Structure 1
Amino acid sequence: MIVVDSNILAYLYLPGEFTSAAEGLLEREPEWAAPPLWRSEFRNILGGYMRRNMLSFEQARSLQAEAESLLEGFEFEVRSQEVMELLRDSECSAYDCEFVALAERLDVKLVTMDKKVLRAFPRRAISLVI
């Protein structure tokens, strides 16, 4: 199992530069986990694609459903205390710290492309691409 941030999900479902890397990750590590926050972040990403006329409403709705299916049973709440401690000790956002807190709680790696998270949490966070 690994924790993935919302952008890794976007790379998987929205064709682009990192899609093949995300697909390879899913083949190697098929159990992806995330805090419930991922849903709102992913919906926001899909909304941006709809506003730029890169996805229809039906396509966005379908992708959201696919992502929810992928993470079914692997969404875990995080404790505010743990998120606040990570906030105190880094310059990352509370949103990012939720993913780190979950990875720490599950004692697994967080896969991300966020440079700030990768710098702040080098023992927990790993990059999708090297």
Structure 2
Amino acid sequence: MIVVDTNILAYLYLPGEFTVAAEALLEREPEWAAPPLWRSEFRNILAGYVRRNMLSFEQACSLQAEAESLLEGFEFEVHSRDVMALVRDSECSAYDCEFVALAERLDAKLVTMDKKVLKAFPKRAISLVA
């Protein structure tokens, strides 16, 4: 099992530069986990696509449902104290630290493309691409 941040999910479902890498990751590591926060973040990404007329409302709803299905049973709450400790010891947002806290809780790697997270948590966070 690995923890993925919301952008990794976006790369999987929204065709772009890193889609092939996200698909390959899913093939290698089919169990993806995330804190519930991912849902709101992903909805926000989809909202931007809808507003720019890059996705229809129905397409956005379908992608959200597909992503929810992928993570079904693999969404885990994190403790606020753990998140805040990571915030205290880094320059990362509380949002980003939720994903790090979950990776620590599950003793798993966090896959991300966030440079700040990769730099702050090199033992826990790994890049989607080399």
TM-score (norm 2): 1.00
Q: In the TM superposition, what are the counterparts of 1:1-130 in structure 2 within 5 Å?
A: 1-130=1-130
Distance 1:85 1:126 in 2: 20
Distance 1:71 1:52 in 2: 27
Distance 2:87 2:101 in 1: 10
Cα deviations by residue, 1:26-65 (Å, 9 ceiling, x for unpaired): 0000000000000000000000000100000000000000
Distance 2:82 2:28 in 1: 29
State the 4+ residue runs in structure 1 displaced beyond 4 angstroms. none
Secondary structure in structure 2 of the residue aligned to 1:68:
helix
For structure 1, the 5+ residue unaligned runs are: none
Secondary structure in structure 1 of the residue aligned to 2:78:
coil
Cα deviations by residue, 1:79-113 (Å, 9 ceiling, x for unpaired): 00100000000000000000000000000000000
Distance 1:88 1:15 in 2: 35
Q: Over aligned residue pairs, what C-alpha RMSD do you find?
A: 0.2
- Aligned AA (1:86): L
Distance 2:91 2:46 in 1: 27
Distance 2:52 2:93 in 1: 26
Distance 2:78 2:86 in 1: 12
- Aligned AA (2:115): K
- Aligned AA (2:112): T
